[in-house]
Every structure is written in C-alpha cells, then in structure tokens.
Amino acid sequence: MAQKDISEYLRETHDRVFEHNKCWAAQKTAQDPEFFAKLAAGQQPEYLWIGCSDSRIPAEQITGMEPGQAFVHRNIANLVCNTDLNAMSVITYAVEHLQVKHIVVCGHYGCGGVKAALAKKNLGLLNPWLRNIRDVYRLHEKELDAIKDEEERFNRLVELNVIEQCRNVVKTASVQLSYAKYGYPVVHGWVFNFKDGLLKDLKIDFEGVLHNIQKIYNLTEE
C-alpha cells in the first residue's frame, strides 16, 4: 500500500469512529432523553470485570450490560498480580468506593498470552509477565501433562489461569474486609468461547476458596 493510500486509510478509520459515536449518541438519546444526564450523574456498577486485552472480547457487548454497569480492567491474559499497582488500585477502588457486588475474572479460549507462556523461548520484556502463567502451569503440572491433546491442554490452562487469578483477587484485603462486613463482593471465574460466543461459568466456590486461603492470607484483622 502506497504512503498516500495508508494516510487516507488511517484518516478514514479515524473519522469512522466519530461517525459511529454520533450515531450511538443519537440512538441513546432517542431511546431515553435522560440517558446522558443519568450517565453524567455518576456510576454505580454492580460488576468489576477483569478481562484480557484481546480486542474481540468487549465486556459490555458479550454480556448485554449497558454503560455504567461494569467497571472494567483489562490486561494480557487477565492476570491479577499483587505487584501490579494498576490492578490492585482498580480492585481497591471498585470494592471500597464503588462497592461492586460481583468481581468477574474472564479469560478466553485461544488466549495469545497463555499460548505465548507455553512457548519454550525467550520473549524478552514479556518474560516477567508471562511467568505468572507459567507458574500456574507449574502448580498444576501433573494434571496438565496428563492431557495428551495439545488443544485440550491449552484450554485447560486457560481455565486454570482464570481460577488462579480468582484466588489472587480473594487474597486482597479490600475483598476480604468488604465480604466480612457486607457479604459482597463475590468472585466469579468465566471463560469466553469464540466458537459459539458463549461464556462458561467455572463455578468458583467463592466461600470455599476464601476459607481455604485465609489460613495464610487472612487480612480481615485491622
């Protein structure tokens, strides 16, 4: 593609976003003249969504939620690392200030981050981040190595990664303190399937996980 053609393409794709924005705003106003007044008044989301940065998984669209219903944090492979101040700040704000009732960690089959973690090679700057997924493999090595089909093993690691990130959410002080005081938030683990567009609920036993981790990670004492 020639330089001129590239410039025109970039301008067209940029302008298209603003045209779509105008149409969306007009549609919302037509449906509810007070929509943007209510949106501007503040947010009271029920959900904190921790998902993968993959561009094919927009949280609101696949769940049918409207603006204001989900507080969203996304990163490569939907990780929750205690040294990631971004993720920790999001969880703390969502729980302590927005008082979300549900926290969802949502992964997806075919995750590029999980696939990269399975690669036996040096990936430079990505190494420290992907090590978190490799650690998940190490924790579940026996189960995963017993799965002979490569795609099935890949999919199971995606699920186990979601489960481990849910545990990491439960380990945080803000979640433990809020649940002890109010009975929420509850943590869920979901996986999105591109093949049919459906979400799989991994049915995390939140209270069971909380009870088990608090032998070591109990942070409810102030």
Question: Active-site residues: which are they?
Answer: 52, 54, 56, 108, 111
Distance CA(129)–CA(138), nearest Å, equals: 15
Q: Taking Cα atoms as reference points, which of 127, 200, 209 lies closest to residue 169?
A: 209
Residue 68's Cβ-count burial label (10 Å; 0-12, 13-18, 19+) is middle
Residue 199's Cβ-count burial label (10 Å; 0-12, 13-18, 19+) is middle
Give the DSSP per-residue string, 137-178: HHHTHHHHHT--SHHHHHHHHHHHHHHHHHHHHHTSHHHHHH
